[in-house]
Amino acid sequence: MRAVRYHEHGGPEVLRVDDVDRPEPGPGDVVVEVAGAGINPVDTYFREGAYEPFTLPMVPGVDAAGDVVAVGEDVEGVSVGDAVVATGLSKDHYGACAEYVAVPDDRFATLPSGVDPVAAGGAGVAAVTAWRALIDHAGLEPAETALIHGGSGGVGHAAVQVAAAAGARVVTTAAPPYHDRLDALGADVVLDYGRDDLREAVGDASDGGPDVILDHRLDDYLQFDADVAAHDGRIVGIGENDPAVGFTNDGVARGKDLTYQFMSMFNTPELSAPLGRVARLMGTGDLEIEVARTDDLAEVADAHRDVMADSFLGKLVVTP
């Protein structure tokens, strides 16, 4: 089969398409014919060596979706021909930028009938991170207000929909070209993140302050989040942040009894559990993964460049 691999760490130019053996299922694996493999910033961190994969040469790709073509021993609840969505690959397991991928049974969930497997291929990191941040860590409840920074991003656009499905009032920030689409995805208020009066606008949109804030750039918004949050607010931080950046006035956070939670999807005890919730939301139409662009295997290097550089709504997805 054809698979993208990197034989050494480096820039996107180290990625190449190789002919390799199709994987066989281990005792706890299924083998999936990949319909879509989402590209995420974390894929570039593994390739660069900032995060260390388990071996080289390595197949990148944390996310996948497609049909099961082989089922290993000890795997229950899934059969050949079932559509599944998977995530958590490429750290200690070969990734999904290939025609086929073996997936451990704690890292996939079955897809309801009618869900587009290409779009589902971009769901894993984005939607599971959104679910874990808002539901598992922040405990978002109906009628609370959630502020989602960067609603047009992969995690951001999924988080808008997860928060809306939970019954929350959703306030998000994005560049103006994406406002209408985010409104259609469930945001109650969409604000231009570049406006000078953003603090006041968030306060006005959230009746005094959001109860939950999902932030992917705490190095820019650590103090902002404290300033705008409601009393007893919960702030969840994801992504890479500058450890040298701190509060300019941490008394605000203490005065409001704020809680800050830093998280990584890779710490999820069993990824199949939140993946199952995400799959059900896709099945009911409450979660749509926006596919900004599809690329083939030979274009994965371009996708690695663009996921870190370009502004787009949703996800880049590889279609082997």
**Can you give the pLDDT at residue 243?**
63
Q: What is the pLDDT of residues 178-218, one digit of tens each?
A: 999 999 999 999 999 999 999 999 999 998 899 999 999 88
DSSP 8-state assignment for residue 233: -
Please give the pLDDT value at position 245.
Answer: 75
CA separation for the pair 249, 235 (Å, rounded):
16
- Check residue 66 and give its pLDDT: 98
**pLDDT (tens digit, 9 = 90+) per residue, 261-271?**
999 999 999 99
C-alpha distances (whole Å) from 237 to each of 57, 97, 141, 246, 293 are: 32, 28, 19, 13, 27
d(CA 20, CA 14): 17
Ordered by where they begin, the domains of the chain are 2-123+289-318 (3.90.180.10), 126-265 (3.40.50.720)
Residue 246 pLDDT? 80
- Find out whether 181 and 204 touch, Cβ atoms under 8 Å: no
Let me know if 12 is exposed, middle or buried by CB neighbors in 10 A (0-12, 13-18, 19+): middle
DSSP track, 88-133: S-SSSS--SSBSEEEEETTSEEEPPTT--HHHHTTTHHHHHHHHII
Q: Tell me if 6 sits within 8 A of 14, measured CB to CB.
A: yes
One-letter identity of residue 87: T
The parts of the chain modelled with pLDDT lower than 50 are none
User: Which distant-in-sequence residues (6+ apart) come within 8 Å of 310 by Cβ?
Assistant: none
What's the rounded Cα separation, in Å, for the pair 212 and 170? Answer: 10
pLDDT of residue 239: 75
> Phi and psi dihedrals of 289, rounded to 5?
-85, 115
